[in-house]
Structure 1
Amino acid sequence: MDVVKKIKESPNIRWFILANVALGTFMATLDSSIVSVALPTMSDEFKTNLGTLQWVVTAYLLTISSLLPVFGKLADILGRKRVYSTGFIFFTLGSALCGMSANLWMLVSMRVVQAIGASMLMANNQALLVSAFPLHERGRALGLNGTMVALGALSGPALGGVLVGLMGWRSVFYVNLPIGIIAFLVAQVILPHDLPKHEKIKFDSTGALLFAVGMICVLYAINNGQAQGWGSPLIIGGIVIGILLLSIFMRFERRITDPIIDFDLYKNKPFLIGNLSSFLSFTGQFANTILMPFYLQQILKYSTTQVGLLMTAFPLAMAIIAPLSGYLSDEIGPMILTTGGLITIASGLLYLTTTTAHSAFWMIFPGPLLMGIGAGMFNPPNTSSVMNAVPKNKLGIAGGLNALVRNVGMVVGTTLSVTLFENREASLLANIQHPSASQTVSAFMTSYHTVMLVGAIIILIATAVSINRVVPPHNGEQF
């Protein structure tokens, strides 16, 4: 008990809070990347195709995206410690039940439970850090947390491969159990009790339902439009119903006292600019994320080990640069770093337009490396700028919205890149009845370069948006 008391009374308690938040961030990010490695093994056990099995990933992503603002707002009402700690319970319980799943649809259902917990964690990690750290240290705290995002993405495929090989696919879920239990217990000790002063605020359950269902419909349609056909009734219906529900949601929110999303936040220029540039940056980055493995394996005939090495360049660079960028943003503000970061990402994408069907390993490596450096430069100061622009009683919803735009950017970027690539490739081969191997490779490379160019243009648009940010006074004051 004396140790617990000393930790709580320590002037460095904020660093213990950072460690706990970083653990939650690592766990949620790790689970996004570790499961993909286990899909082929799951397919064999459940005797199903990869198209159906994709729901193991899709259900997780859709649930998180639809609930981020909801749990951000709920934390502003009930307290961040309560919602964040509950996230560990849901995530750990969901992980255990995923590992025990007897069939595919039980697994998908338990992934939803797991995703509910992940959304509670992701919606509140930024708010917890901003509340714990003074203004002049927030950048480095957010930068270190960004490193955990990169490390989670970096270690997921490798750790997943080892676990599946040694203990089977269920182990990729069981690995979360000790992490989740420890993180929950630590959260009970170190996170401050932060019950809001205004406890009479009512939770907008109608708005939460409208938003969640609307987002699920729209994101499902965007995510599956290319595979099922953009003209299919299911995709058209998803888009129409989703937009209708979100339109009703927006009108409903403007008429009530305590909305899920306070749209007045978007009248705040640093908040608006930061979120918009974040959305565009993730959209542009994911032009390469989904296509590079196909280029490396199908065109260059690289082994999975070589592909893994090249793909780790991005998260490894980000893991190194993010804390440095966060530290510098506390000293010089976000403008130079966010602008430089976006330009560096665009440079990486433009560099990849020079690759060929015969490029050597060392000739490709600078592309993802530059993108990782740029992402590490951009993300921490941009997040710090966004979160510093809102009052303390709205940190939860601000963090939830900031996480949401990143997730939506990833979905839109993935869909845009695949759609553009396939349509461009089809048009190049349309008038060739029996394309030769060289013609197929040429069409692939032209299409790949087109997508990289479009991604770079999107990043440059993000740069133009980002340089218009107004930075709040950097006076070192806490809320």
Structure 2
Amino acid sequence: MNITENIKNSPHIRWFILANVALGTFMSTLDASIVNVALPTMAIKLHAGLAVLQWVVTAYLLTISSLLPIFGKLADIWGRGRLYLGGFVLFTLGSALCGLTNNIWVLVGMRVLQAVGASMLMANSQALIVAAFPLEERGRALGLSGTMVALGSLTGPALGGILVGLISWRAIFYVNVPIGIIAFLGALVILPNDNAKGDSVRFDSAGALLFALGMISLLYALNNGQDAGWDSAGILGAFALGLLLLVGFVWAERRTSDPIIDFDIYRNIPFLIGNLSAFLSFAGQFTYTMLMPFYLQTVLNYSATQVGILMTAFPLAMAIAAPLSGYASDKHGPVALTTGGLATMAAGIFYLVLLTPHSPFWQIVPGPLLMGIGAGMFNSPNNSSVMSSVPKSKLGIAGGLNALVRNVGMIVGTTLSVTLFEIRQAGLLAGVLHPTASQSAQAFMTSFRTVLVVGGVVLLAAAAVSINRRGYVSSLRSL
């Protein structure tokens, strides 16, 4: 028996798998949060305007969202380990090529390659953890994985600023290369040789194409509607095309023997409730995430450094709460923790409604802290409940769908916050040709509070959905 087989047969192999998945999670989360810091420098170095530059972010987002369920299904067919290894290869290669390019559109193309790798990692990370850990340890394991999400978000902006300032914008991509190589080599040694179904299951390529194109079109419209105008021909056409393609996808999936998404999975109550509450959670949460930096900079005149320090309160609190909540859910179940976490997030966002144009630093901090604690309380038990509610043969697609609702929730929350804010602000300043600084600040604060109240209501709705999983979680023990 060689060294690799000894490691794979170790009684502690599940913790090695968790460590490797955590490294992949950290890398993909870090990359998502590190790029925005470098965009102004990229604009200068690559001679690109904002309209073109936004595709560095948008292309990455659209690609991941359109591929998550597809790679989840492929993982169930080909084997989760194989697809996860491929994700490291593509993500690392894409990162290296992003750093080498001197053309903005080539950079966008390499970001798409990066996103393909990231979606392979994201669609499989939770499935690998759930397959490796017994039910009584899953919450703790998923909680530790959630901590890596928070640490990636926490580290990204600060590390990005340091790398861009001391080296160049290319360094934010090169930093992924050594991490990716180490993670790939580790995965090669420790991941189990899960059995592929091979030719016994036919991959629905037509359904995959309909889903990918439909999601790209619909999310493009959501992401760009405010800038282009919701009633513009391009946005309305993208909405119509996206909905048409997705309706066609559902119709086709109902008539194939091996669908990309088996919609019967949503008859599983814990899975349905977990996905719906997660979607509402991220939608409500991102009403805060999008507008809070603007409040700090434009109203309170905080420096970028001060904004960065204050915004770390959320991921820092989440990083501490997530593993503790995961451990507690293994002992006491997910219902109280998920519902209480969503209520805590709602309390945090409602607290922020009380802020004024003159609020001191110490008065602001409790809001992000409460939201971070609530997010940590919610995410780990919810992920454990969702992933434990499906049989092992469907872990890949379950993980892909779970990651998809998170991404779509972020997009919807961002779009909702910006659209509602601008409509409310325009209404308050209607007829005022030259608003004073006081009038502008007052209009901003009223609009900001309106968005926060809506976000809080969405989080309370998520809590109301989450509590309805009572009575169903006991069925997870039999899976």
Question: With structure 2 as the length reference, what TM-score do the two structures score?
Answer: 0.98
Paired residue secondary structure (2:433): coil
Cα distance in 1 for partners of 2:59, 2:264 equals: 31
| Count of equivalent residues | 478
Mapped partners of 1:256, 1:436: distance in 2: 62
Deviations 1:422-478 (A, max 9, x none): 00000000022221110110000000000000000000011111111143327867x
Q: Deviations over 1:393-438 (max 9, x none)?
A: 1000000000000000000000000000000000000022221110
Query: Paired residue for 1:232?
Result: 232
Distance 1:168-1:198 versus aligned 2 partners, 3 A rule: closer
Query: How far apart in 2 are the matches of 1:158 and 1:267?
Result: 43
Q: What are the ranges of 5 or more consecutive residues in structure 2 without an aligned counterpart? A: none
In 2, distance between residues paired with 1:160 and 1:323? 26
Instruction: Quote the residue 2:58 is aligned against.
Output: 58
| Kept in 2: contact 1:89–1:117 (CA 8 A) | yes
CA-atom RMSD, angstroms? 1.2
Question: Residue 113 in 1 paired to residue 145 in 2?
Answer: no
- Deviation of the 1:195 alpha carbon: 1.4
Name the counterpart of 1:339: 339
Which residue of the partner structure matches residue 165 of structure 1? 165
More deviation in 1-10 or 411-420? 1-10
2:356: which partner in 1? 356
- 1:243 paired residue number: 243
The 5-angstrom pairing of residues 3-18 of structure 1 reads 3-18=3-18
Match of 2:412, SS?
A: helix
Deviations along 1:12-62, whole A, 9 cap, x unmatched?
100000000000000000000001111011000111222320100000000
Instruction: Determine the structure 2 residue equivalent to 1:316.
Output: 316
2:397 maps to a residue whose letter is I
CA, structure 1 residues 199+132, in 2 after alignment: closer, same or farther (shift >3 Å)?
farther
Identity of aligned residues (%): 69
Q: Equivalents in 1 of 2:302, 2:128: separation in Å? A: 43
Within a 5 Å distance, the mapping from 1:160-199 to structure 2 comes to: 160-197=160-197, 199=199
Residue segments in structure 1 that go unaligned for 5+ positions in a row: none
1:211 maps to a residue whose letter is F
- Cα shift readout 1:338-359 (whole Å, capped 9, x = no counterpart): 0110000000110000000000
Deviates more, 1:467-476 or 1:147-156: 467-476
Q: What amino acid maps onto 1:149 in structure 2?
A: V
The amino acid across from 1:221 in the alignment is A
Identify the residue that residue 417 of structure 2 maps to in structure 1.
417
Q: Does 2:203 match 1:222?
A: no
Q: Secondary structure at the match of 1:202?
A: coil
**In 2, Cα distance between the equivalents of 1:290 and 1:109?**
26
Question: Does structure 1 residue 471 correspond to structure 2 residue 472?
Answer: yes
Query: Given the two structures, how large is their TM-score scaled by the length of structure 1?
Result: 0.98
Is 2:126 the partner of 1:126?
A: yes
- Alignment check: 8 A CA contact 2:388 2:476 kept: no
Give, in whole Å, the separation in 1 of the partners of 2:9 and 2:400: 29
Q: Residues 13 and 474 (structure 1 numbering): CA distance in 2 closer, same or farther, change over 3 Å?
A: farther
1:449 aligns with: 449
Letter in 2 for 1:40: P
Tell me by how many angstroms 1:231 deviates: 1.0
Q: Give 1:378's aligned residue.
A: 378
Whether contact under 8 Å (2:136, 2:331) holds in the other structure is: yes
Please list the CA deviations of residues 279-332 of structure 1 after superposition, one character each: whole Å capped at 9, or x if unmatched.
Answer: 000000000101000000000000111100110000000001000000000000
**How much does 1:197 deviate?**
4.9
Matches within 5 A, 1:25-44: 25-44=25-44
Native 8 Å contact 2:389 2:476 kept in 1: no
The alpha-carbon deviation at position 201 of structure 1 amounts to 0.1
